[in-house]
Amino acid sequence: MTSQTVDARHMAGLKQVLQYVEAIGLPARLIEKDEETPFSALFVQLEKDFKARDRIINFTFLPFWEEELDHISLLQMYSILPCDNPVNLETLEKLLLAINSQLSIGHLGINNNNQIYLRYVYSINKSSPVSQGEISEVILLFNYILDVYGDIIDSAAAGEKDFETALAELSRI
């Protein structure tokens, strides 16, 4: 399969997701692959967090393995949590590990820029389109995870809570 064919299929998939997202009333912007942008992406704006900061989910199809996989495409959903630079990475890493054991989908991590992220890779059957219900529910779960754990993560990242305090709060969720 040619790269152009894969790119066209990915763009068509993102356009479909865009329609679903717009149908549930979320603002979104689609960026098409070009000479300056290595892949197409859909940016979906969620409700603001508890501190009125923007939250965005980035949808991209992972191009890796695309030609080797006959039955599935991999749709990545990625969101940077709107936290300031973490002051205690060791505490934050332990907390994210504890939270990850509770998550229904995806995982939380810290990227190379010390940003906290939520990432989920969704396996889509190539022979049948993803449904609006599936996309809506995944967005609902993303929003839920960000709402429920955002304050604990933010407090730990800012050094306002130590690991034991954050863990105790986590056990009450």
143/83 Cα distance (integer angstroms) = 16
pLDDT single digits (tens) 110-150: 999 999 999 999 999 888 878 899 999 999 999 999 999 99
pLDDT single digits (tens) 139-168: 999 999 999 999 999 999 999 999 999 999
Taken in order of first residue, the domains within the chain and their CATH numbers are 3-171 (3.30.1460.70)
- Residue 157, judged by CB atoms within 10 A of its CB (0-12, 13-18, 19+), counts as buried
Higher pLDDT, 168 or 70: 168
**Average pLDDT score over the chain:** 91
**Range with the largest mean pLDDT of 67-76, 94-103, 127-136:** 94-103
Whole-number Cα distances in Å, 49 to 7, 56, 110, 119: 33, 10, 19, 17
* Alpha helical stretches, state H, 24-131: 89-100
- Residue 156 bridge partners (DSSP): none
